[in-house]
Structure 1
């Protein structure tokens, strides 16, 4: 039986771009695995993006609430995410995060 691979699905919600299951070729082309890593335990904290951040979650689960919105954007292991410069939000980490990231 052939292995079934989830299709890459990209969405944008509340200004946050999320691509689920990006192809490994994209990650390789961007050099994602050579980017710095950052992680944190389950926690809740405010954050403001001084620069555009592109990241790839290796582990974890987070709900990000942009300031002024009651709605959150859920991101988890396997997601390729872009946060816009200038966004202020609250990170609500339910499962410890480990990610590669790059600021532009």
Structure 2
């Protein structure tokens, strides 16, 4: 499995090229919870700080406001939201593909 990739403070040109301002947003209060990424996700962190600990024994990864983070498909991890999170995000693939991966994930726990 590939690793979580963090770009610290990407340029405004990079963000414009990706279309980040048009991506949906998601927020989460301070909390800890398990998560699985059925597909690759790219997120731009607007507010907050999070530590993600992969279930495969890899070192925890911290990201915060101003970071552009790429999460690989198939990543199983625990999120620890240390400061309330607000992010833009983009999921890889079509809606039908995302639904299929979630159904498949549900039946292969």
TM-score band w.r.t. shorter chain: 0.7 to 0.9
* Aligned counterparts of 1:78 and 1:63: Cα–Cα separation in 2: 15
Structure with more strand by fraction: 1
Alpha-carbon distance, 1:70 to partner = 6.3
Query: What secondary structure does 1:69 align onto?
Result: coil
- Displaced runs of 4 or more, over 3 A: none
* Aligned counterparts of 1:26 and 1:77: Cα–Cα separation in 2: 16
Alpha-carbon distance, 1:68 to partner = 2.8
2:64 equivalent to 1:49: no
Choose from 69, 94, 103 the match for 2:82.
94
Choose from 43, 48, 64 the match for 1:76.
64
TM-score by length of 2: 0.81
* Aligned counterparts of 2:58 and 2:71: Cα–Cα separation in 1: 18
Structure with more helix by fraction: 2
**5+ long unaligned stretches in structure 2:** 93-109
| Alignment RMSD | 1.1
Number of residue pairs the alignment of both structures matches:
91
**5+ long unaligned stretches in structure 1:** 1-13
